[in-house]
Amino acid sequence: MIVGLIIACEVAFWVLLAAGLAFRYVFRMPRTGLALLLCEPLLEIVLLAVTAIDLRNGAEPDWRHGLAAVYIGFTVGLGHSTIRWADARVAHRFAGGPPPVKPPRYGTARAVHEWKVAARWILASAVALALLQGAVWYVGDFGDTGSLRAWQQRMLWVIGINVVIAASYTLFPKRERQRERGADENPVDSGAGAGTSSPR
């Protein structure tokens, strides 16, 4: 039942997102669209309540309960940025909004961007860790919490990987190649030098 509810929550997340953006930009009903988008957190509340009730009724903690905690954590950490990502593209497509801003590619700006991305994943993992720990305390000595502990270890790995990736862009910043920078600074006039070939 828990796995089915997780799948249903994921489907409902995208359905509510699509419906909210459609009402906001296509049908020009921003209040209705906003109301639909604000319903998103209710999905996680329902999943959390059902998982807690399942454990309270004596269900043995297993990977499904851990997956529910991880799903809630990742929705909390990444859901808002996903909505903003979709909102920017739908606004550009249907409401004349500005083109979505592309992430920086080089230098300090790229490092800052990577740390922001890492922060969202770290938040997601931290929320999942807290929920998993709450489940461990809730079960106490009356059940096997090994599967919940295993999910906690996976979340620590997620945090570590994201820190390493962001730190690598800080310690070894990606730099623009000289040829790309020269092309940006000295664009070739399409009408000039028609008989010459560009350098490799």
- pLDDT of 178 reads 62
- pLDDT of 122 reads 98
Q: Output the pTM of the full model.
A: 0.85
Q: State the amino acid at position 20 in one-letter form.
A: G
Q: For each of the chain's 200 residues, which pLDDT tens digit applies?
A: 899 999 999 999 999 999 999 999 999 999 999 999 999 999 999 999 999 999 888 888 899 999 999 999 999 999 999 999 999 999 999 989 999 999 999 999 999 999 999 999 999 999 999 999 999 998 887 778 899 999 999 999 999 999 999 999 999 998 887 655 555 555 544 444 444 343 44
Structure tokens at 61: 């903690």
DSSP-H helix ranges across 95-173: 107-139, 146-171
In Å, how far are 57, 70, 156 from 145, measured between CA atoms?
16, 15, 17
- pLDDT of 190 reads 41
Structure tokens at 199: 């350098």
- Give ∠ CA 145-149-153 in degrees, rounded to 5: 170
**Contact (CB, 8 A) for 94 and 26:** yes
- pLDDT of 138 reads 87
Tell me which residue of 56, 61, 71 sits closest to 6, measured CA to CA.
Answer: 71
